[in-house]
C-alpha cells in the first residue's frame, strides 16, 4: 500500500491470536497509519433492489474520519479524573454541574473541517456532481458544529460551479426518507456521517450493495460497509455485490472513469434482471460470471 497508495480490501475481523497494532482492528490501524481522513460512502438505489422506497436515490455521504466524539475523550461518572474535568468546566463556564455526570468530549477543528469540506467539493467537481450539502447541528452546538459549518461555507465560495446548502441533522434525516432525490453529496462530521451513511444505505436496500472508501493524501482504501460473512464460508452463498462495487470506486479514484461505469452498469443490469436476488440465488461465483457476461 505504501508503494501503490491504493488498496482493495476485503472485510476483515480481528483474530484472538493477533498481536501489536492489528489486535483491535485492522481497519482502524490502516486509517490511522495512512491518515485516511475522509470516509466516502455512496448509496444508490439500483433497479430490482429489495427496498421499501421507490423514490430515486444516488447520494454520497462524505464523513470526516479523525475528529468528533469518536476520538475517545471519555470520562466515566464518579471517577477522580472526571471530577477534575467537571471542576475545570464549571470554572470556565460559570455553570454548576451536579456530581455523577459522565463526559464525552467533542473536538472539532477548523483545519480538519476545511480539509473535509474541500475534499467533498473537489470530489463533487471530479465526479460530475452538482450539489454539496453540509449537515450539522450548529443551531445548538455553535462552538463545534458552528465551526464546521463556517468552514464549509468558506470552502463553498471556492467552488462556484457547485451548488451549496446546509441542513440540521434531524431535518436531513427526515428529508432523506421523504425526499431523498434532493441530495447529491453530503459532507458532515464523524458521528453524523456514521448515522447518515447507514440511513442512506438502508434506503438503498441494505449492506449488500454498499461500497465504501477511506481516503487521505497518502493512500486510499476501498472496501465494503459489511463485515466478514463467516457463516457463509465455503458455502458459495456470500454476496459479492458490495465488493465488486468497491472496485468501481477504486477505478474512479484512479481516473478509470469508463471502466468504472462499465462495471457499475453491468452490476446494475444483473441486479435488474434478477429482481435484486443476486447471489442469494446465483452464488458469488455465478454472480461474478453474470457481471462479466454483462460487461462483454
Query: Which residues in the chain belong to E strands, given as ranges?
Result: 6-8, 38-44, 58-64, 74-75, 103-104, 131-136, 163-168, 185-188, 211-215, 220-224
Grid look-up 472496485 returns 247
Q: Is 137 a catalytic residue?
A: yes
CA 197 to chain centre: 5
Q: Is 118 a catalytic residue?
A: no
CA distance 213 to 244: 13
Residue tagged active-site, from 68, 118, 145, 194: 194
Q: Say if CB 291 and CB 279 are below 8 A apart.
A: no
- Give ∠ CA 181-114-254 in degrees, rounded to 5: 65
Question: For the chain, how big is the Rg over CA atoms in Å?
Answer: 21
Residue tagged active-site, from 137, 166, 192, 278: 137
The dihedral region occupied by 5, where left means phi > 0, alpha psi between -120 and 50, and beta the remainder, is left
Q: Is 46 a catalytic residue?
A: no
Q: Is 231 a catalytic residue?
A: no
Q: Is 258 a catalytic residue?
A: no
Residue tagged active-site, from 70, 106, 122, 159: 70
Q: Say if CB 11 and CB 165 are below 8 A apart.
A: no
Grid look-up 453491468 returns 266
Residue tagged active-site, from 24, 165, 170, 261: 170
CA distance 279 to 34: 33
* Stretch (H or E) spanning 136: strand 131-136
* Residues with a known catalytic role: 70, 137, 170, 194, 198
Amino acid at each position: 500500500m505504501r508503494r501503490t497508495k491504493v488498496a482493495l480490501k476485503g472485510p476483515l475481523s480481528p483474530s484472538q491470536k493477533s498481536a501489536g497494532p492489528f489486535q483491535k482492528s485492522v481497519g482502524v490501524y490502516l486509517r490511522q497509519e495512512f491518515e485516511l481522513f475522509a470516509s466516502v460512502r455512496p448509496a444508490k438505489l439500483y433497479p430490482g433492489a429489495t427496498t421499501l422506497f421507490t423514490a430515486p436515490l444516488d447520494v454520497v455521504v462524505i464523513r470526516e474520519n479523525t475528529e468528533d466524539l469518536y476520538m475517545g475523550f471519555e470520562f466515566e461518572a464518579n471517577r477522580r479524573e472526571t471530577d477534575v474535568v467537571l471542576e475545570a468546566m464549571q470554572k470556565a463556564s460559570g455553570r454548576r454541574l451536579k456530581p455523577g455526570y459522565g463526559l464525552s468530549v467533542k473536538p472539532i477543528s477548523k483545519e480538519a473541517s476545511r480539509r473535509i469540506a474541500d475534499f467533498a467539493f473537489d470530489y463533487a467537481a471530479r465526479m460530475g456532481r452538482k450539489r454539496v450539502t453540509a449537515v450539522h447541528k450548529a443551531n445548538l452546538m455553535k462552538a463545534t458544529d458552528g465551526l464546521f459549518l463556517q468552514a464549509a461555507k468558506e470552502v463553498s465560495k471556492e467552488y462556484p460551479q457547485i451548488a451549496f446548502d446546509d441542513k440540521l441533522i434531524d431535518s436531513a434525516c427526515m428529508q432523506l426518507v421523504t425526499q431523498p432525490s434532493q441530495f447529491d453529496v453530503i459532507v458532515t462530521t464523524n458521528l453524523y456521517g456514521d448515522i447518515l451513511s447507514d440511513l442512506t444505505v438502508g434506503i438503498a436496500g441494505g449492506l449488500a450493495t454498499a461500497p465504501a472508501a477511506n481516503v487521505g493524501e497518502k493512500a486510499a482504501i476501498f472496501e465494503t460497509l459489511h463485515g466478514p460473512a463467516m457463516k457463509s464460508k465455503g458455502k458459495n452463498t456470500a454476496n459479492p455485490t458490495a465488493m465488486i462495487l468497491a472496485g468501481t470506486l477504486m477505478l474512479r479514484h484512479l481516473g478509470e472513469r469508463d471502466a468504472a461505469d462499465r462495471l457499475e452498469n453491468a452490476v446494475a443490469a444483473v441486479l435488474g434482471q434478477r429482481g435484486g436476488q443476486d447471489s442469494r440465488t446465483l452464488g458469488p461465483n455465478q454472480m461474478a460470471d453474470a457481471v462479466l457476461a454483462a460487461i462483454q
